[in-house]
Amino acid sequence: MILADKIIELRKKAGLSQEELAEKINVSRQAVSKWESMQSTPDINKILSLSQIFGVSTDYLLKDDVNDAEICIADDNDTTLRKVSLSEANKFLSANTNHAFYLALGIALCIICAAPVIFVDALFPALSDLSVIPMFMLVAAGVALIVLSNKIIRPFRYLGRENIETEYGVSGMIKEKKDSFTPIHIRDTIVGIVLCIMSVTAPVIFEQIKSRSETFSEIGAALMLVIVAAGVFLIVRASATNKGYLKILEEEQYSRERKITRHEKHETHIGEVMGIYWSITTALYLGISFAFHNFDVSWIIWAIAGILCVPVIIITKIIGNRDR
């Protein structure tokens, strides 16, 4: 076993994140990251520090042929760790990519659901009564994708809850993929935030030119939902993909130290919450529409519900994390 993999293995067995190990050795987190990804090697003083922290000999750290039996770390929290092979890691990354895409697309469809109603009312007033059909179809498709995304990732839930041990070379491979994805994560997050902020300019711009036709004002509102949906799609997909790397590397919120503090293991049933959320929205829409006979106005309920969909999912995850 090479030095990089030994540092990763020992750090995880000690229940330390890269940041925590860096603090103990008085180096930056980036330095530890480079050691583990074989971009650099620690000097002799840092080797001695690592030896003292992990309770192993310097020979074990420096020599590839020293037997693992020399490791003498006492791990009171875990005597057996669930091993993650290269094949399992690749299956998880593939599943997480699909999970991130379907989750992001499902949320985007829920946000954009009111756009067809606005477009049809503006361009084809005679068909306004039928405009609710594509709206319900988008909501149904969105909720179905959110539920599907959770089903896809469910077999790998243990990665975010249990202490794991990756086989030789797995951590290095994952770290390379994470480092390659970091610029994409940053780019999509920034672009997504900018789109969400700038979306409010669409109604304003179309309002200024509505003197030509009242249609422009309504189209501006629909375009705002489309822009918000695009921004949220980029943010959610990038965030969910990045979390996959953090889980298998046991970093940040998925470090062993944080896992140990979670005494109970509860799942965040986002799919079920979304089902209840949109069922209530549908009941509210139908109740208000039939009670006041204002189907031409009550569609705004769907626009509001679509925008509030993201905060509801975030709050659901926060509550789920507190319960763990």
Three-state helix/strand/coil letters over 85-134: CHHHHHHHHHHHHHHHHHHHHHHHHHHHCCHHHHHHHHHCHHHHHHCHHH
Q: Supply the DSSP symbol for 81.
A: -
Q: Supply the DSSP symbol for 252.
A: G
Q: Residue 324 and residue 322: Cα distance in Å, rounded?
A: 6
* Contact between residue 275 and residue 302 where contact means Cβ atoms under 8 Å apart: no
pTM above threshold 0.85: no
In the predicted structure, residue 54 carries a pLDDT above the cut 80:
yes
User: At a CB cut-off of 8 Å and minimum separation 6, what does 96 contact?
Assistant: 153, 156, 240, 241, 243, 244
For the chain, the structural domain boundaries read 3-70, 88-323
| Per-residue pLDDT at 290 | 58
In the predicted structure, residue 260 carries a pLDDT above the cut 60:
no
- Residue type at 213 in one-letter notation: S
Q: Residue 306 and residue 225: Cα distance in Å, rounded?
A: 9
| Per-residue pLDDT at 271 | 58
CA proximity to 275, closest of 312, 235, 242, 303: 312
| Per-residue pLDDT at 263 | 39
pLDDT band at 185 (very low <50, low <70, confident <90, very high): very high
Q: Which residues pair with 84 in a beta bridge?
A: 166
Q: Residue 30 and residue 22: Cα distance in Å, rounded?
A: 9
- Residue type at 261 in one-letter notation: T
Q: Residue 86 and residue 170: Cα distance in Å, rounded?
A: 6
For 26-38, what is each residue's pLDDT tens digit?
888 888 888 888 8
Which helix H or strand E contains 83, and what residues bound it? strand 82-84
Percentage of the chain lying above the pLDDT 90 cut: 15
The reply to whether CATH 1.10.260.40 applies to domain 3-70 is yes
| Per-residue pLDDT at 10 | 87
| Per-residue pLDDT at 238 | 92
What value does the mean pLDDT take over residues 138-165? 87
- Residue type at 98 in one-letter notation: N
What value does the mean pLDDT take over residues 88-92? 92
What value does the mean pLDDT take over residues 17-32? 86
For 95-121, what is each residue's pLDDT tens digit?
999 999 999 999 888 888 878 877 777
Q: Residue 230 and residue 141: Cα distance in Å, rounded?
A: 16
What value does the mean pLDDT take over residues 11-18? 83
Q: Of 51-65, 132-146, 189-203, 228-242, where does the model show the most confidence?
A: 228-242
Q: Among 80-84, 194-198, 248-252, whose mean pLDDT is lowest? A: 80-84
* Contact between residue 205 and residue 91 where contact means Cβ atoms under 8 Å apart: no
pLDDT band at 266 (very low <50, low <70, confident <90, very high): very low
In the predicted structure, residue 75 carries a pLDDT above the cut 90:
no
